[in-house]
Structure 1
Amino acid sequence: TSNRAGSLKSLPSLFKRPALVQLYLLTMVVILGQFTVYSYITPILMNVGHLSENATVWFLFIFGIAGIIGTVISSRTVDKHRSGTLVIPMLIMTVCVGLLTVTSSHFGVLVILGTFWGASMTAISMAFQTLLLDTARDAADVATSMFSGIFNIGIGGGAFIGSRVSAEFGFAAVPYVACALIGVCVLACAAIWLKRGSAILPTR
């Protein structure tokens, strides 16, 4: 509705909301990490793990299908367990991405990693969107536009980081950089959770 759309004038007030600033920072860094590695997943699997093209396609298919699992789980937990629904999928992502290089030649292990990684990525996206609506319900249009812009910057930035890392250190190093980026977010949210009893900062 128009009274909840917000305007550019509402931007300064939005950035005074700690939970929203946290959401934007998490979105930027987690999506940077995700697309640092996902943008180059095919050359990582084929060049580092020496998987066939067919096996790589199957991995991508499993990753995509697993998103449905993440949607179902997150939709059932996000309202009652906000902190866990935010932090646990990020932790799972960190582990999956961190293990990618060393398991890239073992398709059976990759199927498991791809399932957990794909599900957790979708769960995180849903948690982000729920947090966004809770924090900026009175200016949803502007807040959502900012979120979309930051998300897209993360996609492009991740692809750029992956490009530079692979050029300098090879494809095997790319997952570790992505793991570090997402891992920083896990540690930050865990620290907030331990200190405040919630991984999410106050909305006001």
Structure 2
Amino acid sequence: MPSTTDGSAILSPTRIRLALLALALGGFGIGATEFVAMGLLPNLAQDLLPGLYASAPDAANAQIGWLISAYALGVVVGAPTIAAAAARWPRKQLLLALLAAFTLATIASALLPTFGLVLVARFVAALPHGAYFGIASLVAADLMGPGKRARGVALVLSGLTISNVVGVPVITWIGQVYGWRVAYLVVAAVFAVTFLAVILLVPFQAGDPLATMRNELKAFGRLQVWFALGIGAIGFGGLFAVYTYVAPLTIEVTGLGAGAVPLVLVVIGLGMTVGNLLGGHLADKSVRRTLYGFFFVMIVALVGLALSAQFLPGLLIGVFLVGGAAAGLSPAIQTRLMDVSADSQSIAAALNHSALNIGNALGAFLGGLAIAGGLGYVAPVWIGAGLSVIGLVLAVVSFAIDRSRRRNGQHVPYGTDLIDIVRDAA
């Protein structure tokens, strides 16, 4: 573990652990703001779309799923834009600006009166998401030291996964009892506390003085960057096809009451916590084997869940394994992006969350189409299995290209290869 983060200040192990804890607390808040809507889907539909919910609750639940898609699309837009534009900023100051934006936009989500305005607020609240995780991952990797990048990423993401064990179920319960608007105000308070923690505990880290938006955007000229984004964007959709509609799946398919939804969310969160920590450890050993292994587990888990969701053990085991496999993929995809992005590290660290939230939007959208089409609440699970198969195929193809390049004697496989391919074809 390094003794400095800026070349001068010596940090004790305790100070490093506290700094990592502060960064993880931000992940806790992000997990809450992103996932709490999934457990409160019927509550949101009743309040924001009362007429539609009274006449067609399935259609209302599917439309409220747009709030989740809007958040995911906000991540997709905000992550590369903010990361590229602010790569020169001192990292601590950038984290504080992002946390302030989270706090204000989440308060707006809680207070705005109509579905359309809340939809816009959820999009705005998501803009800092990817940049926060990207910059926090770079800070954590620096604090952890060489050879422990994936574990540093996993520690930051542990806040998100622990949020799914504790924060999301508790805040979901608060939303069920006191209203979904109160739930979002609680989330805003978490962000405010994180803002103070980062001020007090995270050491100064300079931005990259050589970084420019043009250099950061060169990442999009690399074929393997696009493959890594596709692996996350499509493969991760398997989780969100299930997670978005976990409340109606629990109530309508398994036949449990609304009070069981927080329990199911705890089980998903436990799976995500275990999978994230295991994935970070394994990805430092082999990114390729980690991706293959967790995709296999995810596909099997989704098929098993689709076949057994009407039974309580099938539901709980299925969502635990789906959550665990998806969370195990995240640090591996993050590390893969950092590996293939060459000198565009800031945008690469953020792009992982753009990719995962494209998966979020894709899974929620396709699942909503299936439900609105009358296929039932198990249909999104089958859709998720198909998306995960495509993600695994993309991973296999990506690493096959690496092997082909090594056989051809290419020592540096990652450069502006997409531009080269287009130029050669022309």
- TM-score, length of structure 2 as denominator length: 0.43
Aligned twin of 1:179: 385
- Determine the C-alpha separation between the residues in 2 that align with 1:22 and 1:80: 21
- Determine the C-alpha separation between the residues in 2 that align with 1:90 and 1:154: 14
- Determine the C-alpha separation between the residues in 1 that align with 2:364 and 2:299: 18
RMSD: 2.6
- Relative to structure 1, the CA distance from residue 164 to residue 78 in structure 2 (aligned partners, 3 Å threshold; closer, same or farther) is same
The offset of 1:194, in angstroms, is: 6.5
Q: Deviations over 1:107-139 (max 9, x none)?
A: 223332222222111111111111122223522
Aligned twin of 2:414: 203
Indicate the structure (1 or 2) with the bigger Cα radius of gyration: 2
- Determine the C-alpha separation between the residues in 2 that align with 1:39 and 1:20: 27
Aligned twin of 2:245: 40
- Decide which moves more: 14-23 or 88-97: 14-23
The offset of 1:160, in angstroms, is: 1.8
CA contact (8 A) 1:4 1:138 kept: no
Q: Deviations over 1:144-202 (max 9, x none)?
A: 3433333333323322221111111222211111110111111333455568669xxx4
Identity %: 22
1:15 is the counterpart of 2:220: yes
5 Å matches for 1:8-87?
A: 8-10=213-215, 13-87=218-292
CA contact (8 A) 2:342 2:414 kept: no
- Determine the C-alpha separation between the residues in 1 that align with 2:351 and 2:402: 27
- Relative to structure 1, the CA distance from residue 195 to residue 151 in structure 2 (aligned partners, 3 Å threshold; closer, same or farther) is closer
The one-letter code sitting in structure 2 at the alignment partner of 1:203 is Y
- Determine the C-alpha separation between the residues in 2 that align with 1:6 and 1:162: 40
1:166 is the counterpart of 2:166: no
- Decide which moves more: 145-154 or 89-98: 145-154
CA contact (8 A) 1:165 1:174 kept: yes
- Decide which moves more: 37-46 or 134-143: 134-143
The one-letter code sitting in structure 1 at the alignment partner of 2:378 is A
- TM-score, length of structure 1 as denominator length: 0.84
The offset of 1:33, in angstroms, is: 2.9
- Relative to structure 1, the CA distance from residue 194 to residue 153 in structure 2 (aligned partners, 3 Å threshold; closer, same or farther) is closer
The one-letter code sitting in structure 2 at the alignment partner of 1:182 is S
The one-letter code sitting in structure 1 at the alignment partner of 2:277 is V
Q: Which has the higher contact order (CA 8 A, sep 6+)?
A: 1
CA contact (8 A) 2:301 2:318 kept: yes
- Determine the C-alpha separation between the residues in 1 that align with 2:402 and 2:239: 27
Unpaired segments ≥5 residues, structure 2: 1-205, 405-412, 416-426
Count of aligned residue pairs for this structure pair = 201
The one-letter code sitting in structure 2 at the alignment partner of 1:132 is L
- Determine the C-alpha separation between the residues in 2 that align with 1:203 and 1:107: 47
- Relative to structure 1, the CA distance from residue 18 to residue 151 in structure 2 (aligned partners, 3 Å threshold; closer, same or farther) is same
- Decide which moves more: 136-145 or 64-73: 136-145
Unpaired segments ≥5 residues, structure 1: none
